[in-house]
Amino acid sequence: MTITSDKTISTPQLTINGASQTSDETLSVIDPSTGAPFIEVPSASLAQLDEAVEAATTAFATWSATPITERQAKIQEIGQVIRDNIDELALLVMREQGKPLQNARGEIMASLRQVEVFGSIEFAPEVLKDDETGKVVLTYDPIGVVGAITVWNYPFLAAMFKLVPGLVAGNTVIIKPSPYTPLSTLRLGELLQSVLPAGVLQVLAGGDELGRALVEHTGIHKISFTGSVPTGKAIMASAAATLKRVTLELGGNDAGIVLDDADPDVVGADLFWAAFSNSGQVCAALKRLYVPEDKVDVYAAAIAREAAKVVVGPGDQEGVTAGPVQNAAQLAQVKRLAQAAKDGGGEIVFEGEIPDGPGYWFPTTIVKGLSEGNALVDEEPFGPILPILTYRDLDEAIERANSTVYGLGASVWTANPDSTETLAVAERLEAGSVWVNQHPVVTATIPFGGVKQSGIGVEGSILGLRAYTNPRVLNIKR
């Protein structure tokens, strides 16, 4: 039984200067549950990028001077438009990304937290000094035109993570969604044409050439990017030519350390979902699990029990709880790492069922018997596979967890979350976020970002809002 209609999806257009535009070039969008294209969307030309930048520059003069309370009122209107169109938007996310429809709806609902937080956040000037000698006031001025480049695993949420604080801060924003998942963001641009002044928010779909041109454009003043480490490095190098501000939320190979006092029956289900939410396609998912050597089998069994409940299939089928890998290139990566695990002596302790026929399907897979040096451990799989590693000495486990170029998230699992030992382990893990008995937790109210090669800067909270501004000091001598 399907739980969506067979209604044909209308082709969303580019949004440039407050109006819809088509293009001579198109992008094919593939349904990952079939592996076949199901719609063509316009792919913006470089001339259309120039037009969008010009419109954003013109709109910036007025938008940046608009009181923040009025900008926030527009953000609240955006939230209402999303609520009014959530069924359509969820269908688009499901079709382009592959996740179950209820999860697609959940993604859109989660994005509304951006509206709630930044649509009402206090962002007043800060008085640093005020005495008989003088006064010093710190303000945060909008940067200008922001280029936002988003990722394919949470396409709608990623767009909202950037456009909402960017607009509240007083910038104008040009979003380029992933070429794998442009539909829901293009449609959002269309829906907001009646809410926002022309040029304030624009959406341009396109491939790598458009992305490079956006980063290199002299009329773009900041790039906010979510995606892979190699692409983040290329963006940073390119942005150097004009000293653009950058926020880079990149990949991770997050480690979780289970302490000896934890109960497998208590934490097993949470460990599973920490690794396998969104079919493992989460930048800050649990990707390496370290457990005491003498308990590896009981942890493998506890996680496998939860894995056995998962139903993998097309997102519009009732009862499905996990979808496919989103694209062919990522599926090839997951398959390569799974083969490396087998070749390296890894033991498959659980392998789930997948649908017959076409589509980017990979079974929910749990592996033990590996260690560092195997590709599945050392690299980021970004798919539904988890290696369970063992340790004898806790200090050694911490050292191994930190022995990576990544530093996005990490976690500690224990029966005593407030104990001195737990906090000591957490403090030694090298990551932008360290969670205890959970992994990951990313919300609009909490700063989120990585250390080492997992990124620069943060999203979320007042710190994420400030990242869309230039601090300015007014210093008065009396």
Using one digit for the tens of pLDDT, what is the confidence trace for 34-54?
Answer: 999 999 999 999 999 999 999
User: Which tens digit of pLDDT belongs to each residue from 328-383?
Assistant: 999 999 999 999 999 999 999 999 999 998 999 999 999 999 999 999 999 999 99
Q: In whole angstroms, what is the distance from residue 351 CA to residue 364 CA?
A: 6
CB neighbour list of residue 460: distance below 8 Å, 6 or more residues apart: 161, 442, 443, 444, 445, 446, 447, 448
In a domain, 5, yes or no: no
In a domain, 4, yes or no: no
Pair 209, 66 in one domain: yes
Residues 208 and 264 in one domain: no
How confident is the model at residue 3, as a pLDDT? Answer: 36
User: How many domains does the chain contain in total?
Assistant: 2
Report how far residue 163's alpha carbon sits from residue 193's, in angstroms, rounded to the nearest whole number: 14
Residue 8 pLDDT grade (very low, low, confident, very high; cuts 50, 70, 90): confident
CATH of the domain at 132: 3.40.605.10
Is 249 annotated as catalytic? yes
Span 67-71, average pLDDT: 97
Q: Are residues 346 and 405 in the same domain?
A: yes
Q: If you search the block for the tokens 């509240």, which residue do you land on?
A: 168
Residue 128 has pLDDT above 50, yes or no: yes
With 0-12 / 13-18 / 19 or more C-beta atoms within 10 angstroms meaning exposed / middle / buried, residue 14 is: buried
Do 187 and 330 lie in a common domain? no
**What pLDDT score was predicted for residue 9?**
86
Residue 85 has pLDDT above 50, yes or no: yes
Q: Is 65's pLDDT higher than 50?
A: yes
Give the Å distances, CA to CA, from 49 to 61, 192, 204, 314: 19, 19, 8, 35
For residue 223, pLDDT over 90 is answered with yes
Residue 25 above 50 pLDDT? yes
CATH of the domain at 294: 3.40.309.10
Whether 168 and 305 map to the same domain: the answer is no
One domain for residues 266 and 130: no
Over 50: is that where the pLDDT of 4 sits? Answer: no
Task: Please report the DSSP string for 246-279 in residue order.
Answer: EEEE----EEEEE-TT--HHHHHHHHHHHHHGGG
* Length in residues, the chain: 478
pLDDT for 211 beyond 70: yes
Report residue 2 as tokens: 């399907």
User: Cα–Cα–Cα angle for 343, 346, 350, nearest 5°?
Assistant: 120
Say if residue 136 is in the same domain as residue 265: no
Give the residue carrying structure tokens 């997951």: 334
Helices (H), 365-473: 375-378, 394-402, 420-428, 461-466
Give the dihedral of Cα atoms 12, 16, 17, 21; nearest 10 deg. -60
Tokens of 294: 């003498």
Which among 51, 96, 283, 459 is annotated as catalytic? Answer: 283
How many C-beta atoms lie closer than 10 Å to residue 9's C-beta? 15
Q: Please give the mean pLDDT across all residues of the chain.
A: 97
Q: State whether 228 and 313 are in the same domain.
A: no
pLDDT at residue number 435: 98
Percent of the chain with pLDDT over 70: 99
- Flag whether 306 is in a domain: yes
Residue 50: what pLDDT? 98
- Whether 89 is covered by a domain: the verdict is yes
In a domain? residue 448: no
Q: Is 216 a catalytic residue?
A: no
- 96, 107, 249, 459: the catalytic one is 249
Q: What is the pLDDT of residue 387?
A: 98
Specify the pLDDT at position 14: 98
State what percent of residues in the chain have pLDDT above 90. Answer: 98
Query: Are 473 and 377 contained in the same domain?
Result: no
Range of the domain at 201: 14-250+454-477
The span from the CA of 300 to the CA of 280, in Å, is 17
What letters, b where the CB count within 10 A reaches 16 and e where it falls short, cover 50-71? ebbbebbbebbeebbeeeeeeb
DSSP annotation string for 301-352 = HHHHHHHTT--BS-TTBTT--B---SSHHHHHHHHHHHHHHHHTT-EEEEE-
Q: Tell me the β-bridge partners of 367.
A: 348, 387
Overall average pLDDT of the 150-173 stretch: 98
Judge whether residue 5 has pLDDT over 70: no
Q: Within this chain, do residues 199 and 329 fall inside the same structural domain, yes or no?
A: no
**How confident is the model over 246-278, as pLDDT tens digits?**
999 999 999 999 999 999 999 999 999 999 999
Is residue 8, in this structure, part of any structural domain at all?
A: no
Instruction: Looking at the structure, tell me whether residues 216 and 273 fall in a common domain.
Output: no
Quick one: CA torsion of 207, 326, 360, 328, rounded to 10 degrees?
30
Q: Please indicate, yes or no, if residue 84 is contained in any of the structural domains.
A: yes
Q: Does 238 map to a domain?
A: yes
Residues 91 and 180 in one domain: yes
> Is the peptide bond prior to 67 cis by the omega test (within 30 degrees of 0)?
no
- Span between the terminal Cα atoms of the chain, in Å: 76
Q: Which pLDDT score is estimated for 176?
A: 98
What is the tens place of the pLDDT at every residue in 409-446? Answer: 999 999 999 999 999 999 999 999 999 999 999 999 99
